[in-house]
Amino acid sequence: MALSSVEVLPVDGRPSEPDGFREFVETRSSALLRSGWLLTGDWPSAEDLVQTALAAAWPRWATLTRQDAPELYVRKIMVNTFLRWRRRSFARGVFRGGRGWTPVLAALSVFAIAGASAGIATVATSHHSGTAAPADGTPPPTATMSGSPSPPAPAQSPPPRGETLRIADGMWGARLIKRQSYSQGSLTGSGDSLYAIGDGALVRIDPATGATLETTPYSAPVFSRPVVEGNTVWVVWSYGGGGIVLRGYDTRTLAQVASVPVPAIGGVSGQAQGVLAAGPDGKLYVAAGDTVATVDPAARQVTRRIDLTGGRASSVAVSPDGSKLYVGVAPSGEFQLLIYDVATGVQASSSQMSGGSAGNLVATDGGVWGTTGIGMSEWVWFAPGGDLTRSFRVSQGAGAGFSSVPVYSGGVVWIGGSHELVCASPATGRALARTSIPTDHSIVEYFDSPTVLRGGHTYSLYQDDAAHLAGVATLTPPRQC
């Protein structure tokens, strides 16, 4: 099997085809697709994986061919992209290619053979700079190509107070304050604390210093941000079959203070993304099978259910005034947005869009935001008044397995990704300001889950695979935001 066609288009006036690129694709695509199949377990996903890697290789093809390392580079991108897909799929409860670790080990062996034959080549150096050398005296990170996939960014102590690392060419004043890998879409905050999920734990972070203040064991079973309500951080502890469990943790100590079982009538959705939301009344709303369950945090129990007519709930959001409940369902591959009157539980309207992978709903005064796409591309849409027939695309989104999820914080909606960072009006859905996210020697950098704390200080998750950097960054957005 080979890629069905090879078409290289002009980009920004540059030559439309690097020397040798077409020949490489024509001669090596079958081998690359076989390796992609070993990873993913199906041909369409394998082709997605190969196309992602080739797209990443195209801008730096001349450098790769001079170093005789194009195939090594392409295979490295394939493995790293697959591992991101896998981590994200586990978080969402849906795994692309369900054959355990067998495909990973098989592909790694293929990758190692390719690396041994091509040798080891250093292809790039980081474009990040700090105000001081790291406290432990280690040299700045570099991006290297070797015969094994890059290890995840190691957990490191934050820089000394006041000393941060300039990242992404200083885009919107971006500086890294905390070096640690976190799950995509997991950053949130309240008061003087940030919260994120990473390395099997829910973490409380001091935004002033980047220091980890508290941790508690936690692994997300589904893609859904923690919700801070009063003095409690709520997370989805388990989500599968006919049972859901929410757990609450003290916002200061992260000691467990609550555990609430939520039966999922009819079983949970297999496309769940963003299943927990809080209303202005302090209640929690949970996508619970063929219903949406209302949980009273004070009583620690389900106090009400709204029965759905369109299928199993995959995502929920509540309007800022608390009058409307928005529910995403995806029957027969068509995403539907259902709107319910919170007071009566009666469905007010519904609309739909093609593609069953939409989710991560966020409600604002002007309408509803959500995501669509997965794997090669995910982007954010806005539906005025919650009407999908009037929806439009807001951002370029993300590719290569990264997520691009809307976040309502600080009075605006933030959208990150691997292409651009956007702040948008919650009333109209139109961008108030946007900036392109640079690449690190043609490898994408990634900003995610921007969160605004009191005083207007803005933070975001950050990742740069080329420099082996990941963590929490501070941002200084323009006044429009």
Least confidently predicted of 31-35, 109-113, 300-304: 109-113
Is the pLDDT at 104 greater than 80? The verdict is: no
- What are the tens digits of pLDDT across the range 191-206? 999 999 988 899 999 9
Q: Look at strands 193-198 and 201-205 and give their pairing.
A: antiparallel
The three-state secondary structure class of 202 is strand
Mean pLDDT for the chain overall: 80
Is the pLDDT at 299 greater than 90? The verdict is: yes
Is the pLDDT at 434 greater than 60? The verdict is: yes
Q: Read out DSSP for 371-427?
A: EE--TTEEEEEEEETT-GGG-EE----EETT----EEEETTEEEE-BSSEEEEE-TT
User: What is residue 114's predicted lDDT score, i.e. its pLDDT?
Assistant: 46
Is the pLDDT at 84 greater than 90? The verdict is: no
Name the burial class of residue 250, with classes exposed (0-12), middle (13-18) and buried (19+) by CB atoms within 10 angstroms of its CB: middle
Contacts of residue 80, defined as CB under 8 A and 6 or more positions apart, other chains included, come to 149, 150, 465
Contacts of residue 192, defined as CB under 8 A and 6 or more positions apart, other chains included, come to 206, 207, 208, 453, 454
Is the pLDDT at 211 greater than 80? The verdict is: yes
Least confidently predicted of 82-91, 98-107, 258-267: 98-107
Q: List beta partners, residue 355.
A: 334
Q: What does DSSP assign to residue 54?
A: H
Q: What phi and psi values does residue 212 have, to the nearest 5 degrees?
A: -80, 120
Is the pLDDT at 150 greater than 50? The verdict is: no
Least confidently predicted of 85-89, 326-330, 403-407, 466-470: 85-89
224: Cα within 13 Å, side-chain hemisphere: 30
Q: How far apart are CA 437 and CA 421, in angstroms?
A: 7
Q: How far apart are CA 62 and CA 21, in angstroms?
A: 9
User: What is residue 79's predicted lDDT score, i.e. its pLDDT?
Assistant: 82
Q: How far apart are CA 372 and CA 335, in angstroms?
A: 9
- What are the tens digits of pLDDT across the range 223-244? 899 999 999 999 999 999 889 9
For the four alpha carbons of 113, 116, 117 and 120, in that order, the dihedral sign comes to positive
Q: What phi and psi values does residue 449 have, to the nearest 5 degrees?
A: 55, 50
**CB–CB of 375/45 below 8 Å?**
yes
User: What is residue 385's predicted lDDT score, i.e. its pLDDT?
Assistant: 96
Mean pLDDT for 161-182 is 88
User: What is residue 137's predicted lDDT score, i.e. its pLDDT?
Assistant: 32
User: What is residue 128's predicted lDDT score, i.e. its pLDDT?
Assistant: 63
Q: What percent of the chain has pLDDT over 90?
A: 51
Would you state the structure tokens that stand for residue 363, as one six-digit string? 């409600």
Domain ranges of the chain: 21-119, 220-364
Q: List beta partners, residue 198.
A: 201
Length of the chain: 481
Q: How far apart are CA 453 and CA 115, in angstroms?
A: 45
Is the pLDDT at 118 greater than 50? The verdict is: no
Q: How far apart are CA 318 and CA 31, in angstroms?
A: 49
Of 422 and 127, more confident: 422
Name the burial class of residue 353, with classes exposed (0-12), middle (13-18) and buried (19+) by CB atoms within 10 angstroms of its CB: middle
Is the pLDDT at 43 greater than 80? The verdict is: no
Q: List beta partners, residue 313.
A: 329
Mean pLDDT for 105-134 is 43
Of 459 and 40, more confident: 459
Q: What does DSSP assign to residue 152?
A: P
Q: How confident is the model at residue 138 (pLDDT cuts 50, 70, 90)?
A: very low
Mean pLDDT for 117-123 is 34
Least confidently predicted of 119-128, 133-142, 332-341: 133-142
Q: How confident is the model at residue 145 (pLDDT cuts 50, 70, 90)?
A: very low
User: What is residue 275's predicted lDDT score, i.e. its pLDDT?
Assistant: 95
User: What is residue 208's predicted lDDT score, i.e. its pLDDT?
Assistant: 92
Mean pLDDT for 349-375 is 85
Q: How confident is the model at residue 403 (pLDDT cuts 50, 70, 90)?
A: confident
Q: Look at strands 458-464 and 469-475 and give their pairing.
A: antiparallel
Is the pLDDT at 107 greater than 50? The verdict is: no
Mean pLDDT for 74-100 is 62
Of 349 and 137, more confident: 349
Q: Which CATH number fits domain 220-364: 2.120.10.30, 3.30.750.24, 3.40.50.300, 2.130.10.10?
A: 2.130.10.10
Compute how many other C-beta atoms are within 10 angstroms of the C-beta atom of residue 309.
Answer: 11
Mean pLDDT for 98-107 is 44
User: What is residue 362's predicted lDDT score, i.e. its pLDDT?
Assistant: 97
CA 156 to chain centre: 22
